[in-house]
């Protein structure tokens, strides 16, 4: 569980739990809890992750979250590193049965010592790669860029973040031929909406390349796109056909309800003080 959830009101945590249990079509999910800390994450066609390579020395290990980057409790996360800077590091999921619409979530921690840029690609092919990328998102030294063009290069800036801090990204994607309406918004055909810690930072962002509508999402991968050493930490990665972004009206109602509850508690405390 991401450490950020520890800071949420109990009502929001409950809402999140309800949304998770209601999900009935999960295509990919990994919280890295099942791996041996300090060891390489298993790779292969029979595993969740197919490969971690491209060129040069690439590390894709599970680690105990002793620094509490993502959780205040016992937790494991993945370390993805391009060690020697002679190529582009890659961690690619094993291909899965596809969906044209849905939501991808992942948490990341970008160390300030990192000098590389990292790209998350949602692919319309089980093997990934630039040419099959439907949507991309760059995490580059505190700045988020949408992936753009045939070779998936950094495009428009859509947000910023602090290095040495954990964040959660949620992406609602739509490669159907019509607008997708979901709780909290809508996303046009061949577009994606991007949320950072639940806040919309990218609305109707275009897909990369010229892949037509109807192509299903079949792969997700993370890659270093420059030939320099770099490291990123990853946790709680999932891709689901259901969408669980809370409606703004629901958030407001919850806030009002919590305010009323706090006010009532305050009044009772004052009354108790008078009686004592």
Q: Supply the pLDDT for residue 3.
A: 39
Please give the full DSSP string across 69-135, using - where no structure is assigned.
SS-SSS-EEEEEEE-SSSS--EEEEPP---BSEEEEEEEEE--TT--S-EEEEEESSTT--GGGEEE
DSSP summary character for residue 3: G
Res 56: pLDDT: 67
In this structure, are residues 217 and 100 in contact, taking their beta carbons and an 8 Å threshold?
yes
Q: From 45, 29, 26, 32, select the one nearest 97 (Cα to Cα).
A: 26
The one-character DSSP state at 25 is: -
What is the structure's pLDDT at 55? 66
Q: Cα(20)–Cα(36) distance, rounded to whole angstroms? A: 26
| Weakly modelled stretches of the chain, pLDDT under 50 | 1-23, 247-276
How many whole angstroms separate alpha carbon 63 and alpha carbon 78? 6
């Amino acid at each position: 569980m991401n450490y950020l959830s520890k800071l949420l009101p109990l009502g929001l945590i409950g809402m999140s739990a309800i949304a998770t249990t209601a999900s009935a079509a999960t295509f990919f999910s990994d919280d890295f809890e099942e791996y041996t800390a300090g060891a390489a994450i298993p790779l292969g066609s029979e595993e969740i992750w197919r490969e971690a390579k491209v060129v040069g020395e690439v590390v894709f290990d599970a680690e105990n979250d002793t620094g509490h980057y993502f959780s205040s409790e016992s937790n494991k996360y993945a370390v993805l590193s391009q060690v020697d800077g002679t190529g582009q590091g890659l961690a690619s999921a094993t291909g899965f049965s596809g969906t044209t619409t849905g939501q991808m979530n992942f948490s990341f921690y970008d160390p300030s010592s990192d000098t590389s840029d990292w790209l998350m690609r949602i692919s319309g092919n089980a093997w990934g790669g630039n040419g099959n990328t439907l949507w991309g998102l760059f995490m580059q030294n505190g700045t988020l860029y949408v992936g753009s063009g045939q070779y998936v290069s950094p495009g428009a800036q859509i947000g910023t973040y602090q290095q040495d801090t954990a964040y959660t990204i949620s992406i609602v994607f739509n490669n159907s031929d019509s607008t997708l309406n979901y709780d909290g918004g809508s996303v046009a055909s061949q577009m994606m909406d991007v949320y950072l810690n639940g806040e919309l930072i990218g609305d109707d962002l275009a897909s990369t390349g010229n892949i037509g509508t109807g192509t299903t999402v079949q792969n997700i991968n993370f890659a270093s796109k420059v030939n320099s050493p770099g490291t990123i930490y990853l946790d709680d990665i999932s891709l689901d056909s259901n969408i669980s972004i809370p409606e703004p009206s629901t958030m407001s109602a919850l806030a009002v309800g919590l305010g009323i509850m706090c006010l009532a508690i305050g009044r009772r405390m004052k009354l108790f003080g008078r009686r004592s």
